[in-house]
C-alpha cells in the first residue's frame, strides 16, 4: 500500500495534510496517534469509503480512486465503531457479506462456522445483533473483515471493547496475518498494542506524519525506553505528571 | 431547499383555497346536499396529526438509543417522556399554526389584489350565506378552539398509542381497546349533527361540541399520565435492547432462500436485507393500517357522493375515478415514495457496511427497488380494487386501475429513490427520513407525474377503449422508465456519498 501526498479537508478542518508512507507486503504497519489525529481518515481513504482532497492512495499497485470495486474485493475493513444492522442476526450479516464477496455456498458456510467457533459467538449467531454486547459486535465486525481471507486488512482500533483474553487473541491473530500473506494497516492510540504487534509504526498528529520506523529504530532515535515516550517526545507533550491538574 | 419549500407551500395553500372557494361559490354544489362542514376538516387534521405523532413518538421517544445519555443522568424517565411529548405537541401546533396562517395570509392577499372577486373563505357569499363551508356554516372562534383541542388530542393519543403498541400482546390489545373508545367518541361528537337522520334527536350546539371535546381531552390526558408514569421506561428499555430473531431469520427456516430462484445469490441477499430492515420497521405495519383505513375512507367518500342528488352528472362521472386515483396516490406515496425516500438515510451509521464491499451501487439500488415492489401488491389489493368492484365497473376499467396502480408504484419508487439519494438524512432518530421540505417536494412531484398519467390514460379510455388501453400501457412503460432512472440516478449519487462515521 502506498499513500502519496494524501490530504483530506472537511470544510475548514484539515483531517490529513500531505501524508506519505508505504506499507510493504506481509507487513503489519501501525498508525499511532491520539484522537482526531487523522488515522481513521487515512484508513477510510484506503478502503475507498472516502476520496482524498488531494494526493493518491494505492492498494496492491492499484489506485483506489476510480477503482473502488477492485480494491474493495481485495481488502477487509474493520471500522473504529462498527455500527451493524441491529435487526439482522449475526449469521445473516456474515452470510450477506460473504455472498456479496462472491464466496461459494460451501466455503462460505464452513468459514462462518469456523469464525463463530473461534470467536466463541456460536450461541449468539441466531440472535439479532441488537442484543449483542459491545465485545460481540467487535467480534462480528472482525469476522466480516476476515471472512474472505483478504490480501489487505485495514483495522481501526481492532482491540476496542474486547475482554483481555480476546484482546490477546486478536493481537496474536493480527501478528500471524503478516506471516500468512496478508498485509495489515492498523490504527491505534495505544502504544503498548503498537509496540507488541507492529513491524513498523508511523506516528501521526494533527493530520501529519511525524515519524516512521520500526519500534526499535524509533526508541534508539529518541533515546527512550518505550514507544510511549517516543510518542510523547515526537508529538511534543509535557511529562505526564505535569499534565495532571492539582486537584481532580 | 428552503426556497423550494416556501414556494411549494404557497402554491399548495393557494390551490387549496381556490378549490375550496370554487366549490363554495358554485351554485349547483351550494344547493346540493354536499356538506363539507368545518368538523370534517378538523377531523382530518386530527387523523393526520395522530399518525404523525405515532411515528414521531416511535422514532424520538421509544427507539431512540441516544436517550441513554439522558437516562443515565439524575432525571426521571417520566420527565424525559414528558419532554419528548411536549416536543411532539409543539411541532404539531407549529404545523397547524403555519398552515392556518398561510391560508389566512393568502386570503387577505387576495382581498388586496382582487377586491372585486377575492378568495371568499370567511367573507360573505353572493347570496348572503356563510363562508367557505356551504349551507351557511362559518369558521367560528369555537371551531378554532376545537382545532387547538384536536392538536392536543392527536398528540396525546398518538403518543399513548405508540407506547401501548410496544407492549406485550395482552396489554397492547387491552390498551388499544380502551383507547379506541376515545377515537370513537371523537368521531361521534364531530359527526353528530351531520348524521342526524331525523328531527327526533337533537342537534348539539357548538358550545356543547367544544365541551364534549374538552371532556375527551381530559380523559385522554388521564390515559397519558399512567402511560408516561408506569409504561414508558419499560417500553424504552425493551425497544432499545434488541429483539429475538423473527422466525424466517433462523437458519432452520432457510431464511427466505426462495428469493434465490428468481434472483442471483448477491441480489437475493441484498433484497433480503432490505426486506428484513423494512418489515421490522413499524412504519410498514403502520402504512398497511393506513392503507386499510384509506380504503375504508374511499368507500365512505363514495357513499357520501352517492347520497348527492343534484350534483352535475359530469361531476359524478369524474368523482368516483378521482376518489380511486387519490386513494392510489396516497397509498403509493406511503408504501413506495416515502420508503424510497428513506432508503439511504435509514442505513444511518451502518452505511459503511455496504460501501466497504465490492458491490456495484446499481445492485444496491435495484435491491432497494425490488424490496419496495415486493410490498406493493398490498397497495394494489387494498386500495385499487374495492371501489371498482363495489361500483361494478367493467373489466376494462378494473384492469385500467390495476395497471395504473403498477405504473404509479414504479414511478413513485423511482422518484423516491433518486430524491432519497439526493438528500440523504443519516439521523437515526428520524428513521432515516429526510426533512419535511424534501418529503413535501416528493409529494408534489409524485402528484404531478401521477396526476398527469391518470388524466391522460383515464381521459383517453373514457373516449375510446382501445386507445385508452394503449395510453395505459404507455403510462406503464413510462413508470418503468422513471423507476430505472431513479435506480441509476440514485446509484450514481450513492457512489458519491462519503460516510462520515462508521
Is B357's CB within 8 Å of A129's CB? no
Q: Is A160 on the interface with B (CB under 8 A)?
A: no
Q: Give CA–CA dist A246/A116, Å, rounded.
A: 49
Q: Give CA–CA dist B408/B337, Å, rounded.
A: 10
> Which residue is closest to A74 within chain B, CA to CA?
B358
DSSP state of B72: T
What are the φ/ψ torsions at residue A186 (nearest 5 degrees)? -125, 155
pLDDT (0 to 100) of residue A114: 95
pLDDT (0 to 100) of residue B127: 44
Higher pLDDT, B73 or A53: A53
Could you tell me which of A171, A142, A144, A137 has the C-alpha nearest to residue A30? A171
Chain B interface, best mutation among A128, A137, A141, A157, by max B CB count within 10 A = A128
Taking residues A50-63, report their average pLDDT.
94
Q: Is B285 on the interface with A (CB under 8 A)?
A: no
Contacts of A99 in chain B (CB under 8 A): 265-266, 269
Report whether pLDDT(A236) > 80: no
Contacts of A92 in chain B (CB under 8 A): 249, 255, 272-273, 276
* Helix residue spans in B333-360 (DSSP H): 338-341, 351-355
Report whether pLDDT(A204) > 60: yes
- For A49, the closest of B242, B255, B355 (CB atoms) is B355
pLDDT (0 to 100) of residue B124: 44
Contacts of A97 in chain B (CB under 8 A): 353, 357
Contacts of B247 in chain A (CB under 8 A): none
DSSP state of B349: G
Q: Give CA–CA dist B424/B417, Å, rounded.
A: 10
DSSP state of B204: P
Higher pLDDT, B308 or A111: A111
Give me the residue spans of the domains in chain A: 2-243
The residues facing A30 across adjacent strands are A186, A201
Task: Let me know the angle formed at the C-alpha of B67 by B61 and B70, rounded to the nearest 5 degrees.
Answer: 125
CB B196 within 8 A of CB B260: no
What are the φ/ψ torsions at residue A201 (nearest 5 degrees)? -135, 140
Q: Is A150 on the interface with B (CB under 8 A)?
A: no
| Mean pLDDT, chain A, whole residue set | 90
pLDDT (0 to 100) of residue B131: 42
Q: What is the pLDDT along chain B (502 residues), one digit of tens a residue?
A: 566 666 666 776 776 667 666 665 665 555 555 555 667 778 878 888 888 898 889 888 888 777 877 787 788 888 999 999 999 999 999 988 888 787 777 777 777 777 776 665 544 444 444 444 433 345 667 777 888 899 999 999 999 988 988 888 888 888 888 888 888 888 888 877 666 555 556 777 778 888 888 898 888 888 888 888 888 988 888 877 766 666 666 655 555 666 677 888 889 889 988 888 776 555 566 666 667 777 777 777 777 666 655 556 666 667 778 888 888 898 888 888 988 998 888 888 888 888 999 999 999 999 999 999 987 777 767 777 888 888 788 899 989 999 999 999 999 999 999 999 998 888 777 777 777 788 888 988 999 999 999 999 999 998 999 999 999 999 999 999 999 999 999 999 999 888 765 5
CB A183 within 8 A of CB A155: no
pTM here?
A: 0.77
Is A101's CB within 8 Å of B357's CB? yes
Could you tell me which of B253, B258, B249, B272 has the C-alpha nearest to residue A126? B249
Chain A interface, best mutation among B255, B349, B502, by max A CB count within 10 A = B502
Q: Is B177 on the interface with A (CB under 8 A)?
A: no
Which residues between 47 and 66 in chain A have a beta carbon less than 8 angstroms from any beta carbon of chain B? Answer: 47-51
Q: Give CA–CA dist B181/B215, Å, rounded.
A: 13
Q: Give CA–CA dist B108/B184, Å, rounded.
A: 37
Taking the CA of residue B278 and the nearest CA in chain A, the distance in Å comes to: 10
Q: Give CA–CA dist B225/A34, Å, rounded.
A: 48
Is A81's CB within 8 Å of B501's CB? yes
Q: What is the rounded end-to-end Cα distance, in angstroms, of chain B?
A: 28
CB B430 within 8 A of CB B56: no
CA distances, B132 to each of A63, B20, B120, B304, B313 (Å): 67, 7, 7, 19, 23
DSSP state of B311: S
Tell me the Cα Rg of chain B. 24
pLDDT (0 to 100) of residue B282: 57
Contacts of B278 in chain A (CB under 8 A): none
Q: Give CA–CA dist A38/A33, Å, rounded.
A: 8
CA distances, B191 to each of B31, B91, B145, B201, B207 (Å): 21, 27, 17, 13, 15
Report whether pLDDT(A79) > 70: yes
CB B457 within 8 A of CB B400: yes
pLDDT (0 to 100) of residue B376: 77
> Which residue is closest to A81 within chain B, CA to CA?
B502
- For A100, the closest of B245, B276, B359 (CB atoms) is B359
Taking the CA of residue B266 and the nearest CA in chain A, the distance in Å comes to: 5
User: What string of H, E and C letters represents the secondary structure of chain A?
Assistant: CEEEEEEEEECCEEEEEEEEEECCCCCEEEEECCCCCCHHHHHHHHHCCCCCCEEEEEECCEECCCCHHHHHHHEEEECCCCCCCCCCEHHHHHHHHHHHCCCCHHHHHHHHHHHHHHCCCHHHCCCEHHHCCHHHHHHHHHHHHHCCCCCEEEEECCCCCCCHHHHHHHHHHHHHHHHCCCEEEEEECCHHHHHHHCCEEEEEECCEEEEEECHHHHHHHCCCCCHHHHHHHHHCCCCHHHHCCCCC
CB A94 within 8 A of CB A49: no
Calculate what percentage of chain A has a pLDDT beyond 70.
Answer: 95
Contacts of A132 in chain B (CB under 8 A): 242
Give me the residue spans of the domains in chain B: 25-195+202-241, 257-502
For residue A86, name the pLDDT band (cuts at 50, 70, 90).
Answer: confident
Chain B interface, best mutation among A74, A83, A153, by max B CB count within 10 A = A83
Identify the sign of the CA torsion B498, B270, B335, B376: positive
* Complex confidence, ipTM: 0.80
- DSSP codes of every residue in B443-456: HHHHHHHHHHHHHH
For A2-243, CATH number out of 2.40.50.100, 3.40.190.10, 3.40.50.300, 3.10.20.30 equals 3.40.50.300
Report whether pLDDT(A98) > 80: yes
Amino acid at each position: 500500500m502506498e499513500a502519496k501526498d494524501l490530504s483530506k479537508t472537511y470544510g475548514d478542518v484539515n483531517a490529513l495534510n500531505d501524508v506519505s508512507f508505504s506499507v510493504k507486503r506481509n507487513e503489519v504497519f501501525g498508525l499511532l496517534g491520539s484522537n482526531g489525529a487523522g488515522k481513521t481518515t487515512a484508513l477510510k481513504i484506503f478502503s475507498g469509503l472516502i476520496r482524498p482532497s488531494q494526493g493518491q492512495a494505492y492498494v496492491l499497485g492499484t489506485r483506489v480512486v476510480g477503482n473502488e470495486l477492485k480494491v474493495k474485493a481485495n481488502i477487509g475493513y474493520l471500522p473504529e465503531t462498527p455500527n451493524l444492522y441491529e435487526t439482522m442476526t449475526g449469521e445473516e450479516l456474515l452470510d450477506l457479506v460473504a455472498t456479496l464477496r462472491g464466496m461459494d455456498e460451501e466455503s462460505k458456510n464452513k468459514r462462518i462456522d469456523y469464525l463463530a467457533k473461534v470467536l466463541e459467538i456460536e450461541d449468539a449467531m441466531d440472535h439479532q445483533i441488537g442484543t449483542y454486547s459491545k465485545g460481540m459486535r467487535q467480534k462480528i465486525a472482525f469476522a466480516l473483515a476476515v471472512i474472505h481471507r483478504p490480501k489487505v486488512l485495514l483495522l481501526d482500533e481492532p482491540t476496542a471493547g474486547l475482554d483481555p483474553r480476546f484482546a490477546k487473541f486478536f493481537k496474536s491473530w493480527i501478528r500471524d496475518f503478516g506471516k500468512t500473506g496478508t498485509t495489515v494497516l492498523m490504527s491505534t492510540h495505544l502504544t503498548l498494542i503498537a509496540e507488541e504487534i507492529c513491524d513498523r509504526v508511523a506516528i501521526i498528529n494533527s493530520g501529519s506524519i511525524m515519524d516512521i520506523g520500526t519500534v526499535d529504530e524509533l526508541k534508539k532515535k529518541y533515546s527512550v525506553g518505550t514507544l510511549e515516550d517516543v510518542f510523547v517526545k515526537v508529538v511534543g507533550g509535557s511529562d505526564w505528571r505535569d499534565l495532571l491538574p492539582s486537584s481532580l | 431547499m428552503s426556497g423550494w419549500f416556501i414556494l411549494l407551500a404557497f402554491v399548495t395553500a393557494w390551490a387549496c383555497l381556490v378549490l375550496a372557494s370554487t366549490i363554495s361559490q358554485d351554485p349547483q354544489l351550494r344547493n346540493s346536499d354536499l356538506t363539507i362542514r368545518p368538523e370534517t376538516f378538523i377531523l382530518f387534521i386530527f387523523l393526520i396529526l395522530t399518525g404523525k405523532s405515532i411515528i414521531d413518538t416511535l422514532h424520538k421517544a421509544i427507539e431512540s438509543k441516544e436517550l441513554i445519555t439522558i437516562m443515565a443522568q439524575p432525571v426521571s424517565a417520566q420527565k424525559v417522556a414528558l419532554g419528548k411529548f411536549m416536543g411532539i405537541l409543539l411541532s404539531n401546533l407549529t404545523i397547524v399554526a403555519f398552515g392556518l396562517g398561510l391560508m389566512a395570509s393568502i386570503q387577505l392577499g387576495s382581498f388586496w389584489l382582487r377586491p372585486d372577486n377575492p378568495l371568499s373563505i370567511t367573507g360573505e357569499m353572493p347570496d348572503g350565506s356563510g363562508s367557505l363551508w356551504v349551507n351557511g356554516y362559518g369558521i367560528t372562534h369555537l371551531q378554532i378552539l376545537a382545532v387547538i383541542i384536536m392538536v392536543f388530542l392527536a398528540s396525546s393519543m398518538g403518543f399513548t398509542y405508540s407506547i401501548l403498541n410496544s407492549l406485550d400482546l395482552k396489554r397492547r390489545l387491552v390498551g388499544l381497546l380502551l383507547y379506541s373508545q376515545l377515537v370513537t367518541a371523537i368521531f361521534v361528537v364531530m359527526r353528530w349533527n351531520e348524521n342526524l337522520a331525523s328531527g327526533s334527536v337533537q342537534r348539539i350546539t357548538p358550545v356543547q361540541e367544544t365541551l364534549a371535546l374538552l371532556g375527551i381531552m381530559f380523559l385522554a390526558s388521564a390515559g397519558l399520565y399512567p402511560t408516561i408514569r408506569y409504561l414508558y421506561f419499560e417500553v424504552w428499555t425493551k425497544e432499545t435492547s434488541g429483539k429475538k430473531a423473527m422466525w424466517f431469520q433462523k437458519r432452520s427456516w432457510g431464511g427466505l432462500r426462495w428469493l434465490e430462484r428468481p434472483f442471483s445469490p448477491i441480489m437475493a441477499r441484498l433484497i433480503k436485507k432490505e426486506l428484513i430492515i423494512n418489515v421490522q420497521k413499524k412504519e410498514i405495519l403502520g402504512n398497511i393500517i393506513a392503507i386499510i383505513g384509506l380504503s375504508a375512507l374511499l368507500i365512505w367518500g363514495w357513499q357520501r357522493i352517492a347520497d348527492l342528488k343534484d350534483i352535475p352528472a359530469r361531476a359524478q362521472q369524474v368523482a368516483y375515478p378521482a376518489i380511486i386515483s387519490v386513494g392510489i396516490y396516497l397509498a403509493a406515496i406511503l408504501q413506495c415514495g416515502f420508503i424510497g425516500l428513506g432508503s439511504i438515510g435509514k442505513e444511518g451509521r451502518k452505511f459503511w457496511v455496504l460501501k466497504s464491499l465490492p458491490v456495484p451501487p446499481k445492485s444496491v439500488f435495484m435491491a432497494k427497488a425490488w424490496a419496495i415492489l415486493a410490498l406493493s401488491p398490498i397497495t394494489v389489493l387494498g386500495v385499487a380494487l374495492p371501489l371498482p368492484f363495489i361500483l361494478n365497473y367493467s373489466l376494462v376499467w378494473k384492469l385500467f386501475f390495476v395497471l395504473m396502480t403498477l405504473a404509479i408504484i414504479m414511478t413513485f419508487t423511482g422518484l423516491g429513490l433518486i430524491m432519497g439519494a439526493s438528500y440523504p438524512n443519516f439521523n437515526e432518530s428520524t428513521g432515516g427520513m429526510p426533512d419535511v421540505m424534501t418529503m413535501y417536494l416528493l409529494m408534489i412531484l409524485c402528484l404531478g407525474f401521477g396526476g398527469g398519467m391518470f388524466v391522460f390514460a383515464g381521459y383517453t379510455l373514457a373516449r375510446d377503449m382501445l386507445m385508452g388501453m394503449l395510453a395505459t400501457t404507455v403510462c406503464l412503460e413510462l413508470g418503468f422508465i422513471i423507476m430505472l432512472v431513479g435506480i441509476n440516478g440514485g446509484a450514481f449519487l450513492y457512489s458519491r456519498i462519503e460516510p462520515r462515521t462508521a
